[in-house]
Amino acid sequence: MSKITSIEASARAKAGKGAARATRRAGLVPGVIYGGKQEPTLIAIDPRIIVKGIQTSGWRSRVYEIKVDGKAERALVRDVQLHPVKDSPVHVDFLRLAAGSRVHVEVSVHFENEETCPGIKRGGVLNVVRHTIEVDVPADNIPEFFTVDLSKLDIADNVRWEDVQGTEGVTPLTHEENFVVASIAAPSVDTTEGAAEATEEAAS
């Protein structure tokens, strides 16, 4: 299950562009917590929290416990709008996680034991097809990440969905059955180096 990150936010009384601009002038980012068959909660949040969050791997599946005026709500970051020039956050949307519901979320894939992978030790290259996988999961059991063990893979071997660990209760949102997540590709041949060696052999 995804780790829960607790953050603080303050309530905003008004919606609209004018109220949002006033929030930004105060040095905060306007946001909203929506979903869960409840009324949206308007919030203002420290921009450093948002920046730190989206710069960390797996942020799309990270569960936040947002404390607003003494009340805590669990939610996922659904969208972050950035300033077109400054690249700083100007608005953030959170999806409320209601108990018993299911959500669609992107979960990152972590690859383990690359240093002991037979194919890589023989010169092969890890070719990652999917760094994240979009899935349907219970709102109260969102994986922090999926895991792939590379320790037994050789050159030309594939990692498929059935090989991924941490997928209990999870349904992938793809039309492909047992799709490829990664593969161990054969080492590429340096044609320039090969041509130079051939020339040297011909001249000798």
| Sequence-separated contacts (24+) of 189-196 with Cβ below 8 Å | none
Q: Give pLDDT, residue 191.
A: 45
Rounded Cα gap, residues 92 and 82, in angstroms = 9
Question: Using an 8 Å Cβ cutoff, are 99 and 74 in contact?
Answer: no
Rounded Cα gap, residues 56 and 47, in angstroms = 15
Question: Using an 8 Å Cβ cutoff, are 180 and 158 in contact?
Answer: yes
Q: Give pLDDT, residue 13.
A: 81
Share of residues in the chain with pLDDT > 90 (%): 76
How many alpha carbons fall within 13 Å on the CB side of residue 96?
18
The one-letter amino acid code at 165 reads Q
Q: Give pLDDT, residue 190.
A: 56
Task: Write the pLDDT tens digit of every residue in 107-116.
Answer: 999 999 999 9
Mean pLDDT over all residues of the chain?
90
Task: Write the pLDDT tens digit of every residue in 4-54.
Answer: 999 999 999 877 888 899 999 999 999 999 998 899 999 999 999 999 999
pTM, full prediction: 0.80
Q: Go through the domains of the chain in sequence order and give each one's CATH number.
A: 3-97 (2.40.240.10), 101-183 (2.170.120.20)
Confidence class for position 189, pLDDT limits 50, 70, 90: low
Q: Give pLDDT, residue 153.
A: 97
User: What is the C-alpha R_g of the chain?
Assistant: 23
Residues 6+ apart with CB under 8 A from 192: none
Reference 105, options 82, 138, 72; nearest CA is 138
Residue 75 tokens read as 């939610």
